[in-house]
Structure 1
Amino acid sequence: MSNPLLENQVLPAFSAIEPAHVKPAIESLLNRNRERLANLLAELKASGETPSWDNFAAPIEEWDDELSKAWSPVGHLNGVKNSEALREAYNACLPLLSQYSTEIGQNTELCNAYKALKASPEFDQLSVQQQTTINNELRDFHLAGVDLPEDKKKRFGDISQRLSELTSKFSENVLDATHAWHKHITDESMLDGLPDSAKQLLAQLAQQKELSGYVVTLDFPSFYPILTYADSRELREEVYRANVTKASEIGPNAGQFDNTDLMKEILQLRYEKAQLLGYNSYAELSVASKMAESADQVLGFLDDLAVKAKPQAEREIAELKAFAKEEFGADDLQPWDVGYYAEKLRQQRYAISQEDIRPYLPVDTVIQGMFKTVSNLFDLEFVEKTDFDTYHPDARFFEIHKDGQQLASFYLDLYAREKKRGGAWMDVCRTRRNTASGLQLPVAYLVCNFTPPVGDQPALLTHDELTTLFHEFGHGLHHMLTRMDVAAVSGISGVAWDAVELPSQFLENWCYEPEALAFISGHYETGEPLPQELLDKLLAAKNFQSAMATVRQLEFALFDFRLHHEFRDQGADVQALLDDVRSKVTVVPTVDFSRFQHSFTHIFAGGYAAGYYSYKWAEVLSADAFSRFEEEGIFNKATGQSFLDEILSQGGSREAGVLFENFRGRAPSVEPLLRHCGIDVAEGETA
């Protein structure tokens, strides 16, 4: 039987991939790579040749890329089209991949070969991206435990393997808990207050489950309108409870998908791994490969932002409480009330809601407007292809061209559905690199969970969904517009994690620019762009409760970083630490049954462990980078070209701080971020 995962294709053959293909393909590639590497090292030793880029680093890159191209579609399908059989096949490969990664990272002979290449006369003749790749490899050997004695190497490998299993299980529990709960509503009056678009979606969800009336699920497009618009406080509380207790020991599915023990074991193993490498905490280990210089610097950065934002956040919540009491007689504001009354206050103050904007943001108009925005900045063309091998009818496929040449391509998968992981993300399908047969072009996956089309209407996005789409597309451009041709520093590869959000957050700015919104928006029936009156209201409301939003992000970032910095061998009370963080920065009401941490996949199943601060860290960079466009023109071609040349195209070839200063002409300043968020820094304080 031929195996599509072993065929070195330009794009994945999704329609041909079966769960039964996965483990045999990965096993075959891992064993082949082991054999190739052993032969390569033996040949170098026998010949006495000094390792060079061509005889050593290049073939290893080729083999790594073959493995990456086989595993990438498997990981993608596991996220967007989950099934029991695929999940089983995916999980069966995690220990194999972890073991292989540990073997490579702890291979002393291989590490010594890289050291010999660095020490050779050739090193000085190599390109910057080749030199950076070698330096990063040597750093990563150390972080993989190559310097440890044999018994500790083995323990390090066991930890890595176990962590890959635990983090995958954490993610599965969240997915299963999300889809295990739904609320069936037959009395339409329970949905009083909801806009028609939300009701239509809930009716469509009921039809999909072959039920009458309406169904609320824990997918974001379904539950969010309940918490924002439903007049029924009882319904809001029920949905809120189901959402904040998922994957925990309490709530509607209490104990069924409980992540409590997984969190403890993950933290314990991460701490042990850091200890083995000589770090005092996992946070210190995390920062070792990031832009931030130390754990203390990160904590100082977060605390400083909290000091600047909290006074305004306290004023904002006080205003909300006073409004809820005066206008609605609500004097006991609970978490499930905050979104509801905030929306009422926004309506009163600015006479605008997300629903007013939605008709002007039909998905196809938005996509074309996004392409035009980027084309105006970087002179690109976008071509949709309908004849491609797909995995779901929702998926679309586009190519990016410049001056008649194809640069890259990407899959776009926008809508929430069963068996699809929540959230939004960009992932790598193919990496730009030089090969023996020519240049391999980059390919990306762009995934969101928006409200799907309802009935005959096109999908209509909220402004929040618009910014999410631009955010993920910013990541995609970082990956796809790279000019690097060494895989390890091409696109987002090799970019410090706390700088990787710069291009994504940067692109969001155009969602608020009148000049851009003129063609990003267009009424789904008339084509009329967003009227000036609505635009003025949107811009006026942009920073509504922005300090509350800022301290919420700081709560997540401080919880994550302190958890990974303060955890010690005797264990930690995760809930107590979260409560402590909240006591210091949170301004909204909290409840003792909230188990937010049990579904915090970013840090327990994603790449953000002791790194969630990256969102705020990179927001400083992105706001400051955009301030140059504010000074020189938001569609200034020369400024766009400079951003492309200095940041997007450079991948991980140079330090993120160096790239930023090359573009901005100076070190980053936090002032533009505070200004963009509408946060007033108290007199006498410096930004």
Structure 2
Amino acid sequence: MNPLLDFAGLPRFDAIQPSDVQPAISQLLAESRAEVERLLTNDGPTTWDSFAQPLQDNLERLSRAWGIVGHLHSVNDIPPWREAYNAMLPEVTTFYAGLGQNLALFKRYKALAASAEFEALSPARQRIILNEVRDFKLSGAELPDNDKPRFQELQERLSQLAAKFSENLLDATNAFHLDVTNEAELDGLPADVKAAAKAAAEKANSAGWRFSLHAPSYLPVMQYASHRPLRAQMYRAYAVRASEFGDCASKPEWNNDALISEILKLRSEMAQMLGYQNYAEVSLVPKMADSVPQVLAFLRDLAQRAKPYGAADLAELTQFATTELGFTEIEPWDIAYISEKLKQARYSFSDDDVKQYFPEPKVLGGLFSVIERLFSVQITPDQAPVWHPSVRFFRITRKEQLIGQFYLDLYAREEKRGGAWMDEALTRRRIGNGIQTPVAYLNCNFPAPVGNKPATFSHDDVITLFHETGHGLHHLLTQVEDLAVSGIHGVEWDAVELPSQFMENFCWEWSVLQDMTGHVDTGEALPRALYDKMLAAKNFQSGLFNLRQLEFSLFDLLIHSDPACSRPVLDVLADVRKEVAVIHPPTWHRFPNSFSHIFAGGYAAGYYSYKWAEVLSADAFAAFEESGNPVDPTTGAKFLKEILAVGGSRPAIESFRAFRGREPQVDALLRHSGMTPQTA
């Protein structure tokens, strides 16, 4: 049997090959088309059991198999997998685009929504039907027949462009490496970073130390390297990835400029075909936010609050660099280095000092302990086929009953796309008299172990791990039994980040850190004095950080609000920076060319959701603060019941109100970010 067609259990990563993709996906597409045709020729009344449920069951097989292919394209992006994915991407996109425009299916869902049965259905199933009606409209089902082919063509092309954008960025990132043979130029770099660079050089049969643009290599250079030319060279290479500069100058096919322009124009064309002024309006339809002006006002209000703090942060950096480090002029590649020096001077510790207290086994133990205490579950190692030897697998149980399972892929690899993300392998749903338990992928890009020591993670890495695990918990701890609103399904995009950002708060709690730290050499727990310094430094330069996120969010919303896409994206970005930024990168910086969140991910006209979800998550965590115990099981049980367990079965704002008993408030976010008058 083709392993992609085996739905009896977990994905068979030990058997699946690129050559399996075309026959399996082609067969599943044919089966799905046949099932759609069968359902549409059924002359009986349209009911949940006769129509919606069988359609959902059949389509899940295709989405499961294609999800595995997409996952392997992300974590093992070698030529055979890239070719297999891209070969079937147009067909899969065509199928789903045709499904979304199928007027007969749309009429069935509308009939179900208007039927006498609708009121008798569960709220979850009612929400699924209403979501389907909305999504059919957004997929062009109501377009005139002569417009539908063009709309479908746009969807197919946009899928191809998104995949190509991501591939270009990975190829451009991998193309650059910098070999250093003079050890004096490595002054300031932590020992483990040098050891990893030495290992990378040896693997490439090169002398000295090899650095790349992947985060575990790039970030420490920018933060610690005293040799300014090294920082400058790395900064420029990173800033111009997938553009007309750098290694891409000889590889014009890696330049994302044309892709960005085409993506924006095609999105705008789609929006106008649907009767909207611009793509941002389309993006907001299934989200919590009501309108583009509302989101712009929210972002600009936060920017106005944050800008004085950002300006003060920059002034402090400039003065320190001038008086203490001897800089006569500060360049962008100096910012992270000066920031680290200032933090060490002010708080007498470095991120590398802290990193030694976060070896991987202690971090995972601490993370699992928080989850177990909050939600009354147990997490234990499990067995499953994996796609790389370093990937691990775990199970979550409650009173010995299986609740969910997850893969953990922690380390950076050349064939793995950058960043960190959670994705689904299986979603909870009822099948007959049983329950299909959910399975998630948790993916990060942390430094791997070097030598005989365990991997050590920076505190930022730990926060990232907690963040992605929050997404995983949203998927894994749901109690909803209907797939389309189970876990993260059906949750408004600007509420999806609530559980993930909520989990980040535990990385700052002493009672949590005590149990998840142990020096990699001595085993000593994180000293309270060092924790106090970390806490004091928590909001170090938070003004600059918040302005940067607001800059990205405004840029994203504005480029998707221009119906004609008439302005170059770099001009829009320059205007946004004039409005909110206090640090201005060089004119040759090509940030948009690597902004995969909005050009190759699901965040188009939705990057603001990170800031909106920060409001929700800070306010939610305030309930634990008010209880006096950050891992209070009673509050945890309520968070589980009202937020995680309900998934997308009701509007996210109703879930938040049920947990907090009121509307969300921005106060907790401002307090957590150090942006209140008391902290000025």
TM-score by length of 1: 0.97
Q: Which residue is 2:41 aligned to?
A: 42
Once the two structures are TM-superposed, the CA of residue 211 in structure 1 deviates from its matched residue by 1.5
Once the two structures are TM-superposed, the CA of residue 329 in structure 1 deviates from its matched residue by 1.9
Q: Which residue is 2:112 aligned to?
A: 117
Paired residue for 2:470, among 462, 469, 474? 474
Q: Which residue is 2:192 aligned to?
A: 197
**Aligned pair 1:630/2:596, yes or no?**
no
Distance across 2 between alignment mates of 1:115 and 1:609: 28
Once the two structures are TM-superposed, the CA of residue 567 in structure 1 deviates from its matched residue by 4.5
Q: Secondary structure at the match of 1:231?
A: coil
Once the two structures are TM-superposed, the CA of residue 438 in structure 1 deviates from its matched residue by 1.9
Aligned residue runs from structure 1 range 453-468, under 5 A: 453-468=449-464
Distance across 2 between alignment mates of 1:558 and 1:51: 44
Gaps of 5+ in 2: none
**Aligned pair 1:213/2:208, yes or no?**
yes
Q: Which residue is 2:26 aligned to?
A: 27
Q: Secondary structure at the match of 1:150?
A: coil
Q: Which stretch shifts more, 430-439 or 265-274?
A: 430-439
Contact 2:158 2:263 in 1 (8 A): yes
Aligned residue runs from structure 1 range 252-651, under 5 A: 252-254=247-249, 256=251, 257-385=254-382, 387-436=383-432, 438-568=434-564, 571-632=566-627, 633-651=629-647
Q: Secondary structure at the match of 2:402?
A: strand
Distance across 2 between alignment mates of 1:208 and 1:441: 41
Once the two structures are TM-superposed, the CA of residue 9 in structure 1 deviates from its matched residue by 2.8
**Aligned pair 1:170/2:162, yes or no?**
no
Q: Which stretch shifts more, 266-275 or 94-103?
A: 94-103
Q: Which stretch shifts more, 173-182 or 112-121?
A: 112-121
Once the two structures are TM-superposed, the CA of residue 212 in structure 1 deviates from its matched residue by 2.1
- Encode CA deviations 1:538-585: one digit per residue, 9 max, x unaligned: 11110000011000000111111111012515x330111111111111
Once the two structures are TM-superposed, the CA of residue 205 in structure 1 deviates from its matched residue by 1.3
Q: Which stretch shifts more, 661-670 or 118-127?
A: 118-127
Q: Which stretch shifts more, 651-660 or 584-593?
A: 584-593
Aligned residue type for 2:561: H
Distance across 2 between alignment mates of 1:55 and 1:567: 42
Aligned residue type for 1:30: L
Once the two structures are TM-superposed, the CA of residue 255 in structure 1 deviates from its matched residue by 5.4
The Cα RMSD (Å) is: 1.3
Q: Secondary structure at the match of 2:495?
A: coil
Q: Secondary structure at the match of 1:525?
A: coil
Distance across 1 between alignment mates of 2:479 and 2:576: 42
- Encode CA deviations 1:138-159: one digit per residue, 9 max, x unaligned: 0000000111001211111000
Contact 2:379 2:395 in 1 (8 A): yes
Q: Secondary structure at the match of 2:141?
A: coil
Distance across 1 between alignment mates of 2:584 and 2:326: 17
Contact 1:50 1:116 in 2 (8 A): no
Q: Secondary structure at the match of 2:554?
A: helix
Aligned length: 677
Q: Which residue is 2:145 aligned to?
A: 150
Once the two structures are TM-superposed, the CA of residue 50 in structure 1 deviates from its matched residue by 1.5
Contact 1:334 1:589 in 2 (8 A): no
Distance across 2 between alignment mates of 1:254 and 1:620: 42
Aligned residue type for 1:345: L
Distance across 1 between alignment mates of 2:660 and 2:202: 53
- Encode CA deviations 1:240-291: one digit per residue, 9 max, x unaligned: 0000001001123325210000000000000000000011010000001101
Q: Secondary structure at the match of 1:253?
A: helix
**Aligned pair 1:679/2:675, yes or no?**
yes
Once the two structures are TM-superposed, the CA of residue 120 in structure 1 deviates from its matched residue by 1.5
Distance across 2 between alignment mates of 1:526 and 1:432: 43
Gaps of 5+ in 1: none
- Encode CA deviations 1:403-449: one digit per residue, 9 max, x unaligned: 11010000000000111100000001101011136211100000000
Contact 1:563 1:574 in 2 (8 A): yes
Q: Secondary structure at the match of 2:465?
A: helix
Identical-residue share of aligned pairs (%): 50
Distance across 2 between alignment mates of 1:190 and 1:637: 51
Aligned residue type for 1:477: L
Moved over 3 A (4+): none
Aligned residue type for 2:225: A
Distance across 1 between alignment mates of 2:612 and 2:461: 22
Distance across 1 between alignment mates of 2:517 and 2:491: 33
- Encode CA deviations 1:305-348: one digit per residue, 9 max, x unaligned: 00000011001101100110111221211110000000000000
Aligned residue type for 2:599: F
- Encode CA deviations 1:30-73: one digit per residue, 9 max, x unaligned: 11111111112112x2xxx2211111111111111111111111
Contact 1:308 1:681 in 2 (8 A): no
Distance across 1 between alignment mates of 2:344 and 2:522: 25
Paired residue for 1:247, among 229, 242, 245? 242
Contact 2:277 2:563 in 1 (8 A): no
Distance across 2 between alignment mates of 1:77 and 1:92: 14
Paired residue for 2:47, among 45, 52, 62? 52
Contact 2:380 2:396 in 1 (8 A): yes
**Aligned pair 1:18/2:17, yes or no?**
yes
